[in-house]
Amino acid sequence: MTQYAHITGWGMCVPEKKLTNAALAQMVDTTDEWIRTRTGISERHIAGNEDTTASLATEAALRALQVANLRPDKVDLIIVSTSTPEYIFPATACVVQDRIGATKAGAFDLLAACSGFIFALNVASQAIQNGTIVNALVIGSETLSRIVDWGDRETCILFGDGAGAFVLQGRNDPGGYLSGVMRSDGSGGDLLNLPAGGSKIPTSLATIHEGLHYIHMNGREVFRFATRVMVQATQEAVQAAQLTLDDIQLVIPHQANLRIIEAAARGLDIPLERCMINLDRYGNTSTASIPIAACEAVESGRLKAGDKVVFVGFGAGLTWGASVVQWSAPSEVKRKVRPERYRLLARLRSVLLRVIRHFEGLIWGQ
């Protein structure tokens, strides 16, 4: 029997600290008006010392699980999409798996920059639809403030930190994930990149001194690319779902720049009011921007069960993609699940496993 991948839970988490345009103007040569007129951004959330990509992802995941009424130990797969992982390895998804107590889940990270959440949503949905898994947790989480050059006004004004998560569950009733488009063009990789820290240019005193561990961007070329592919990807995904744009109640685009979203709306010939926009308060949170915007769309009543929604984004790589989803309601259960309660159990389990491994090492090491 065919399984349909339904989004049954959603959650978000952003750091408490906010950085306004006025505060940025004290750091670099810019003004609130200059930033707002060119980007649409007024403020962004910035990670504090206690915030990490994994900690934000964990909170978003637990909130999504609570909405879905799903216990962490029922999750089969965790995908964390991020450009700012906790480590190169282990995967940030494995850190999240341990912290929430998802004892039966496989976990891995997906790197496709700002398109990553759409790509991860596609991968998880396909795994559900082909019967490999039943429950998946897809997370987009970023601490971009830690790879931003705060002396470069072209980039530091754009980015913020945060995380968003979806729970996907297999159901027999039609709906949920309807179609997806994933595209890439590596010839444009140099337009938006972080040059050092990989195997090609390993970390050294020279790379640090030259600022090669910060985001580098050709803003004009990225803008031209984005306005073109946002329209193309949306049209392709809608057509693949055998729908028309008239069937779509809401478009949730990657929250990179208001002018890009406005251009995409014009290209699609839809009113801007049919697009969810919240970048004025969060900035560009990369792979977290779409799930964060989706959470706020639900909270504000703009996205309801039965609505058809398009998620569309673009990012470094170059990458771009779109998904069409029929929004679902959380699963009905007799008893409410409180995933937060599993956090303590997960911590105890993690400590116990480390102790066991320690003693195994002592025994086998003799």
- pLDDT, one tens digit per residue, over 228-257 is 999 999 999 999 999 999 999 999 999 999
Is 331 part of any domain? no
* Residue range(s) defining the domain that contains residue 236: 4-326
- pLDDT, one tens digit per residue, over 175-197 is 999 999 999 999 999 999 999 99
Is the pLDDT confidence value at 36 over 80?
yes
Number of domains composing the chain: 1
Is 183 part of any domain? yes
- pLDDT, one tens digit per residue, over 154-183 is 999 999 999 999 999 999 999 999 999 999
Is the pLDDT confidence value at 366 over 60?
no
- Which 3-state string (H, E, C) describes the chain? CCCEEEEEEEEEECCCCEEEHHHHCCCCCCCHHHHHHHHCCCEEECCCCCCCHHHHHHHHHHHHHHHHCCCHHHCCEEEEECCCCCCCCCCHHHHHHHHHCCCCCEEEEECCHHHHHHHHHHHHHHHHHCCCCCEEEEEEEEEHHHCCCCCCHHHHCCECEEEEEEEEEEECCCCEEEEEEEEECHHHHHHEECCCCCCCCCCCHHHHHCCCCCCEECHHHHHHHHHHHHHHHHHHHHHHCCCCHHHCCEEEECCCCHHHHHHHHHHHCCCHHHECCCHHHHCECHHHHHHHHHHHHHHCCCCCCCCEEEEEEEECCCEEEEEEEECCCCCCCCCCCCCCHHHHHHHHHHHHHHHHHHHHHHHHCC
What is the share, in percent, of the chain residues with pLDDT greater than 90? Answer: 90
Is 348 part of any domain? no
Q: What is the pLDDT confidence band of residue 340, given thresholds at 50, 70 and 90?
A: confident
- pLDDT, one tens digit per residue, over 96-143 is 999 999 999 999 999 999 999 999 999 999 999 999 999 999 999 999
| pLDDT computed for residue 53 by the predictor | 98
CATH number for the domain spanning 252: value is 3.40.47.10
Q: Mind telling me the catalytic residues?
A: 114, 254, 284
Is 184 part of any domain? yes
Average pLDDT over the chain reads 96
Is 363 part of any domain? no
**What's the whole-number mean pLDDT along residues 219-224?**
96
